[in-house]
Homo-oligomer: A and B are copies of this chain.
Amino acid sequence: MTTVGILGGGQLGRMLALAGVPLGIRCLAVDPATDAPAAAAAEVLTTPFDDPGALAELARRCDVVTIEVEHVPVEALGWLAERVPVRPSPEVVAVAQDRWAEKQLRSRVGIATAPFAAPDELEVGFSTGTIVKRRSGGFDGRGQVRLDPSATAEAVRAAAGQLAAPSVAEGVVAFDRELSVVAARGLDGAMAVYPLVENHHAEGILRQTLAPAPGTPAALEQAAADLIRLVADELGHVGVLCLELFQVDGALFANELAPRVHNSGHWTIEGASTSQFEQHLRAVCGLPLGDPSVRSPSAMVNLIGSEPAPGGVLALPGAHLHSYGKAARPNRKVGHVTVVGVDEAERDLRLTALRQVLADRAPATTVGGPDALDDVITEVPT
């Protein structure tokens, strides 16, 4: 029996733990929340991430320690890494926590990215508009301020001051669509790359993922695979990672990096031969990576705020409900539903039926789609 420690016990930890059970892998999570979703299939130590007793217990009991959120104390990971393998490494997590370091990494390996600068170095805002973001800690659209094109230097500095934390100014990218690529890198450097998926956000929160991304040329698919390989190799990453991208004409711009399983990879549970959760456990445990190929065209819809009564969703052929066991709260991700079909046409019909069920049953879960898209650059950490 292998024991995997996880810093974080949210829905990602829950799905990791569920994926581990059939592999003979038990998860031991640390989470300060008293109702951590992972508790359904993992042992959870309910305490702050940096509780020395909990960390000592992880070091003593686990074969390897991983994360399900990147916003965990790097010092805690560093302490653990002296005693037990930590994958991804504290250094990788530190890069992902800091937008500045992340952008430097991308520049270093030559990945196209939105123009960026320190707010107090700008003489005028970017001509396409400026978004001032906290260097760390923001998610689901929080921790950022959007400014009109060519905002004054004073406006940029005022926005940075408003965030009351180290920040970075980015130029707005007028993208055609938002994509992401999820992949796993094994202990031996092997990579398994899932296909590009198309993401729809509203109010800064991921609402829907179409997998694979419709109408994607093979060259774009290859470009995404090359990008994520570059990043993963440069980092020496071990585990699943996700790179969020903007498509602009035929090109890809990197947006956010998440060194962990990702909301835009949830479709893989039913839609791919190996789920991202099993894949991550395989990677961090030094097991062979699984086949990332698509089993069925899929659409993943997040349940935001509250869950619908399950009967309506379960009556839909091809719909798979994933409840996170979380209390209802505005803008909270409390579950997701994946619909699969034998082809895109069937998937789309089923997705339409699902939207109808969700709209009818529980207004709080109404999903945003292309029509609900706003053009704010958003962050999607889970």
A273 touches B40 (CB 8 A): no
A91 within 8 A of B: no
A21 touches B18 (CB 8 A): yes
Partner-binding segment picked from A22-30, A235-243, A372-380? A22-30
The interface bits of chain A over 33-55 (1 if a CB of B lies within 8 angstroms of the residue's CB, else 0) are: 00000001100000000000000
Minimum Cβ distance to chain B for residue A83 (Å) = 24
Q: What chain B residues lie within 8 Å of A320 (beta carbons)? A: 22
Minimum Cβ distance to chain B for residue A266 (Å) = 11
Which one of B14, B287, B317 lies within 8 Å of A314 (CB-CB)?
A: B287
B295 touches A310 (CB 8 A): no
A103 within 8 A of B: no
Minimum Cβ distance to chain B for residue A43 (Å) = 10
A360 within 8 A of B: no
A322 within 8 A of B: yes
Q: How far is the CA of A132 from the CA of B314 in the complex (A)?
A: 45
Scan residues 255-279 of chain A and give those whose CB is less than 8 A from a CB of chain B.
Answer: 273
A273 touches B21 (CB 8 A): no
Q: What chain B residues lie within 8 Å of A315 (beta carbons)? A: 288
Scan residues 306-336 of chain A and give those whose CB is less than 8 A from a CB of chain B.
Answer: 307, 310-311, 314-315, 317-318, 320-323, 325
A143 within 8 A of B: no
Minimum Cβ distance to chain B for residue A365 (Å) = 14
B273 touches A290 (CB 8 A): no
Spell out A's residues near B (CB within 8 Å).
Answer: 1, 14, 18, 21-24, 26, 40-41, 273, 282, 287-288, 290-291, 295-296, 307, 310-311, 314-315, 317-318, 320-323, 325
Name 11 A/B residue pairs within 8 A (Cβ), A-sorted: A18-B22, A21-B325, A22-B321, A23-B310, A24-B323, A24-B325, A41-B41, A273-B317, A287-B310, A288-B315, A291-B317
